Amino acid sequence: MQLILLGAPGSGKGTQAKLIVQQHGWLHLSTGDVLRKNVADGTPLGAKAKPLMESGQYVPDDLINAMVEDQLDRPEGRGGVVFDGYPRTINQAQALDALLERKGRPVQLVLHLEINPEALIARLSGRRVCTGCGAPYHTVSMPPLKEGVCDACGSPLMQRKDDSEETVRTRLEVYQKQTAPLLDYYAAQGKLRAVDAAEGVEKTFEGIQAVLAG
């Protein structure tokens, strides 16, 4: 299975991708996570990406496409891949189509996690992430048992720098301009299915499971 999760920042792509791979054992390919690791490790790619990420702009397509090609060689990807936060531009979608065609395993399904833009700002400002294992939390909808501490590994939680309100607005604008056109791109291929992502983590996951089962 080659499955793409499409949706605005804060629509829950990362959380849902983790639930899907837990159930199916596929590879979770989050370009945002790979970039954040490069920033943390101080690689040349991380140095280029850091200022763009912090201001809510996209990292150039050629860097992202090369990074994804690299990740797809990992053995965990053999059973299936959930693409989270990629592709984000038409150029990336075309590059991914070409790459997966070459590998003989084209994109099968694109799930659009739908949620209205006003809800996104509230969601993103409450978002927290574990500094140790990357587990996602939310101060209101998914709080940890002990405030500021990860349930899974005990490491402190942090707020991503790009979840500040000003950067969130930029990210939503960039999404509308550069990523929303992908909805038409995949609809034209007959691969797009909508899932209501407004009702919380469990309901959204039920919607995804229904599409995957159907």
Residues assigned a catalytic role: 13, 88, 127, 160, 171
Q: Are 180 and 11 in contact (CB under 8 A)?
A: no
Q: Least separation, in Å, of the C-beta of 18 and ligand AMP?
A: 13
Report the amino acid identity of residue 213: A
Nearer to ligand AMP, 53 or 195 (CB): 53
- Residue 178 tokens, joined: 């550069």
Q: Is the dihedral of CA 129, 175, 56, 59 positive or negative?
A: positive
Q: Whole-angstrom Cα distance, residue 202 to residue 155? A: 25
Min dist. Cβ of residue 153 to ligand AMP (A): 20
Residues that bind ligand AMP (CB under 6 A): 9, 31-32, 35, 52-53, 56-59, 64, 85-86, 88, 92, 162, 171
Q: With respect to ligand AMP, which residue has the nearer C-beta, 146 or 161?
A: 161
* Half-sphere exposure in the Cβ direction for 94 (13 Å, CA): 6
C-alpha 113/C-alpha 35 separation (Å) is 22
User: Of 178 and 213, which has the nearer Cβ to ligand AMP?
Assistant: 178
For residues 147 and 66, give the distance between their C-alpha atoms in angstroms, rounded to a whole number: 39
- Would you say 74 or 146 has its CB closer to ligand AMP? 74
CA nearest neighbour of 183 among 6, 58, 2, 3? 6
Name which of 87 and 207 has its Cβ closer to ligand AMP.
87
- Count the Cβ atoms, other than its own, within 10 Å of residue 196: 13
Which residues, in sequence order, are CB contacts of 101 under 8 Å at separation 6+? none
Number of separate helices (H) and strands (E) present in the chain: 9, 8
- Position with the least CB separation from ligand AMP: 32
